[in-house]
Structure 1
């Protein structure tokens, strides 16, 4: 009965189904596009930094009130924050690797140095790492433009801008001097491009043992870099780690607060778009079914007189709403996928590749189908109740 009513008003059914299809296509296209864009942006940010970085706790002033009870807290000067090693970092590293949320934990030593090549000298932010572990956090092999990703005792990796300023290449030697006065010659084994000019000018990597001796941290580390399985849960994991270890835990969400706020704004905008599109689809289905109730009042009256219950009448119109939503959603999913393929073909980089990867998520398609069908059922509720409440005698008389 529901399908017959839809066939009899085929033009109305066709137009509302097309409206549903366009709405679902917009939802599928925008959701996939936003998800691909966010994934690409987050990947670009996290390829150059860990998800969480553990640092020694900041030094605090301890006020002895017994010596000067009149001393005001706002008159106390904050102490100078000195670089220091993490206390018992091996035990902390063992604790981190036992956490189920943590994927990789890698110790590191960092500090400011001067790099010399003949009469030229440049400031260098030197990081000493265990390359086998650090590659799982920041893949330096993907950033190589020359040489190889290798860190033996006398090897160093530097950025492209620094190499250009010093006029050096793979195989050349550099003298690196730390703030402690220690110095050491390193051989350039690779040149990296971080996609950032400042980082390419100021960043260098050496092996962990070489950095410990050069920077004055024998056997110690100044930070522990961590990656987690769920990047969006990094802040919660960092808070738990800080509570357990007493160390300062900075997550990428905290250090990139403005970027994360922009990501959340995009998600909220996408949700708002889906809500208003779904609302317009619901009103469209409801308006068509209201007209259908008015047009078929006599038929409904005859059916009621023949013994069909009010619940059966309601089910007829609820089925119409569900069928309109489901049929439009199937067409809309196909249109959304087609629009994504066309967009990927039209919007490309200079090399002829897509600007960023966009994946078709089957879960999202099933959610769109379910949402459209549920919207159809809900929007058909009011017309179905109206049809069920029609008095058979009044309906037949017209």
Structure 2
């Protein structure tokens, strides 16, 4: 085996131009795989973070509209026990519609109240306050920046709200928030849980319990665990996957297209290696014939080309990894949004890179099977005779 390896190495060194060409071909194939894979993964991760990462991924709410979860702490304890390793960032939310009145005009809004600390994990409200501060005292609220512009409301202003039951209340605006979703900035008013419960007359009850999970794509499975654990027909458990079918379809389409591109790139690399090594058999047929005439058996002669394919795959994989990471970094650095942020974040998945490199090495070795089989069929005397 060592002899076959040494001969393979010598053949590669003797045809440096051809070797460099094959290595570059493999490297380009690997780099394209890594670049496309990293690009699609980074795009999906960014999209999921922006749409799902700052929103509840599982929600537990009463089956009937207008009902409340009367003992939220007990339900939260039960929910945590359903899958403690996956469930994170639980927050009880009290919410309801109301009419916001100002001296100039009025509009329908959604009043949402929760514990600011618990809500930070999901909504990161403290980071989204663009002016002023959170309303931690009774009857203090923060409103969306777009709503403040629409109604010409300033920090320190008192606003009046009316519930569907006719209850009125006056609230102090302590800050403006930006959730980066215009519809929410125009319709949400946020406050502490106590203020919302008092104004909406829910007592100790809450409207729903929201949570996130470690693996967002496992939200449906975790939701099933929660539903089984609660075992309460008056509650309904929903998850983001069933409510965002179009988004999931788009992500699946991206993944499928990425895999197809990578497969065709891999096929082209395999065919290129096989064709070049097949030509190498013709070029080296005299040397191989002499070696076989001197006693080298067919398996060892075939191993020479298998080792060539393996070595070419190793070299091409390493060069391809460097090119792929360089391409990904360049794209993330120089292709930016108008605000200067990266259009697609630089994302490196070392497991994916390792798998891509491994596939390239295996494919290169398998591509060498064609010339290896051809070598085993060479008649040494005929080759030497024909020169």
SS at match of 1:135: helix
Question: Equivalent residue for 2:191?
Answer: 206
| Structure 2 residue runs without a partner (length 5+) | 1-6
Q: Please state how far the C-alpha of 1:119 moved relative to its aligned partner.
A: 4.6
Q: Please state how far the C-alpha of 1:208 moved relative to its aligned partner.
A: 1.1
Question: Equivalent residue for 2:27?
Answer: 21
On the 8 A contact 1:157/1:190 being kept in 2, the answer is yes
Instruction: Say what the alpha-carbon RMSD is for the aligned residues.
Output: 1.8
On the 8 A contact 2:101/2:159 being kept in 1, the answer is yes
Q: Please state how far the C-alpha of 1:26 moved relative to its aligned partner.
A: 1.1
Is residue 144 of structure 1 aligned with residue 132 of structure 2?
Answer: no
Is residue 279 of structure 1 aligned with residue 285 of structure 2?
Answer: no
Question: Equivalent residue for 1:83?
Answer: 66
Question: Equivalent residue for 1:353?
Answer: 341
Question: Equivalent residue for 1:116?
Answer: 101
Question: Equivalent residue for 2:4?
Answer: none
Query: How far apart are the structure 2 equivalents of 1:361 and 1:154?
Result: 48
SS at match of 1:156: strand
Question: Equivalent residue for 1:39?
Answer: 45
Question: Equivalent residue for 2:372?
Answer: 384
Bigger shift: residues 291-300 or 376-385 = 291-300
Distance 1:395 1:364, change over 3 A: same
Q: Please state how far the C-alpha of 1:82 moved relative to its aligned partner.
A: 2.8
Q: Please state how far the C-alpha of 1:237 moved relative to its aligned partner.
A: 0.9
On the 8 A contact 1:96/1:105 being kept in 2, the answer is no
Question: Equivalent residue for 1:74?
Answer: none
Query: How far apart are the structure 1 equivalents of 2:45 and 2:332?
Result: 16
Is residue 226 of structure 1 aligned with residue 211 of structure 2?
Answer: yes
Question: Equivalent residue for 2:3?
Answer: none
Deviations 1:66-91 (A, max 9, x none): xxxxxxxxxxxxxxx53211254332
SS at match of 2:123: coil
Query: How far apart are the structure 2 equivalents of 1:254 and 1:152?
Result: 37
Question: Equivalent residue for 1:308?
Answer: 296
Query: How far apart are the structure 1 equivalents of 2:372 and 2:132?
Result: 72
Query: How far apart are the structure 2 equivalents of 1:83 and 1:314?
Result: 77
Question: Equivalent residue for 1:156?
Answer: 141
TM-score by structure 2 length? Answer: 0.91
Q: Please state how far the C-alpha of 1:217 moved relative to its aligned partner.
A: 1.2
Q: Please state how far the C-alpha of 1:102 moved relative to its aligned partner.
A: 0.5
Is residue 317 of structure 1 aligned with residue 305 of structure 2?
Answer: yes
Query: How far apart are the structure 1 equivalents of 2:189 and 2:126?
Result: 14
Question: Equivalent residue for 1:344?
Answer: 332
